[in-house]
Amino acid sequence: MENEKELLGLLEVSAFKHYLHFAAENLRYSEDNLQRLLKQFPTATKVLTFEEWQKLDVLPKKKSRALEVLVPRKNVKRDATHQLLTTADGERMIETRFVLSPCLFDVSQTNASKKEWVSLFNRPECLGTPLRYAKLFVGLRAFSAGKVAIDFLKSETLPDEKQVWIPQGLGEEVTIKRILRDLVALEVDTLDEGIRNFEVRAISYALFGHLKLSCEEETFPELALWTKEGKSPSFFEPPLSYLTALLQQIIRRLDPILEATFDPNVGKNPFERRLLAVQKTRRRGQAPPISEHSIVPTSPEPPENLVVQAMNRRMQAGNATRKARSQVMRKERKAENDE
């Protein structure tokens, strides 16, 4: 009965939206534990253990009360005489029980208000810039394993149902959001069309928030409709559990790809990393110009790699010239000594 009341609360739009954002930022916890955390701390956004906050040089405030979650505890089974029980194969019989453990603190319970520990693709200085949209596009192309294509004919036809075809001229942010939503649609396999459409929009909404894209226009009219029709909370639990698990699965796959896409040091040796740092200082943070109407990379090689390759060629040519001069000078000195 208590779980039904919690589910009933999530049928309110603002509460459901907050739940989606919370689920996107706390990937280790099930739908049941996420609801348990929000019941204890309704405004929670990011929760970590005391030890995890310490690694970020952040400490919980004094008198902060730890939040409880269900955690697994494994016990070796014994008989009445305390002898170990074994299976037919001779292995120990282990049972798993879930117990409440007060071990988590929300970021608002810590001294992290002036600290930044955001991911590379959400750094404040690059939000809303053309370069960020371009890198998001590259990351989504890598994430989708070639399923994303730009329709240069500006048509709405879908030649392949397992591909995402995006018309040109939508604008940078709308293009990224359209790609995300269509990729999510390829992942959701719910048969009921109405439930499936709801799950696609819910997961997309959470991903928009996770990537700091505008997402407040979503209204989720299904929630009000289900309430009006008198649907029981148990009707809402299966799609909520499914979309939560799929959302977290997508983010776990997507985040490492975006981190690598936005990390300028990935794939570079120490010399290239130092050279890149010097180049960034000279540019004073100015990003290379990118077309306003298209975010398709103009070159398969990043601009930094092209600069490094050119400099390497110049250095090799210079080394060859100096080597040749040294050989000539040694021959001249040897000739003088012979005389």
Residue-wise pLDDT tens digits, 91-109: 777 767 767 778 899 999 9
Contact present, 172 and 185 (Cβ < 8 Å): no
> Which of 41-50, 72-81, 202-211, 290-299 is the least confident region?
290-299
Q: Is the pTM of this model over 0.85?
A: no
For residues 30-53, b (16+ Cβ closer than 10 Å) or e, as one string? ebbbbbbbbeebeebebbbeeeeb
Residue 43 DSSP symbol: T
CA 227 – CA 215 distance, rounded (Å) = 23
Identify which of 215, 212, 240 has the alpha carbon closest to the alpha carbon of residue 16: 240
What's the average model confidence in pLDDT over 253-282?
73
- By the 10 Å C-beta count (0-12 exposed, 13-18 middle, 19+ buried), 247 is classed as buried
**Higher pLDDT residue, 291 or 231?**
231
Q: How far apart are CA 213 and CA 12, in angstroms?
A: 23
Q: Using one digit for the tens of pLDDT, what is the confidence trace for 161-202?
A: 667 788 888 889 999 999 999 999 999 999 999 999 999 999
User: What does DSSP assign to residue 84?
Assistant: B
What pLDDT is recorded for position 299?
43
Distance CA(104)–CA(66), nearest Å, equals: 5
The helix (H) or strand (E) run that includes residue 73 is strand 67-76
Name the pLDDT band for 270 (thresholds 50, 70, 90).
low
Angle at 169 between CA 166 and CA 175, to 5 degrees: 45
Residue 273 has pLDDT above 70, yes or no: no
> In Å, how far from its chain's centre is CA 82?
48
Please give the Cα distance from 208 to 17 (Å, whole number): 12
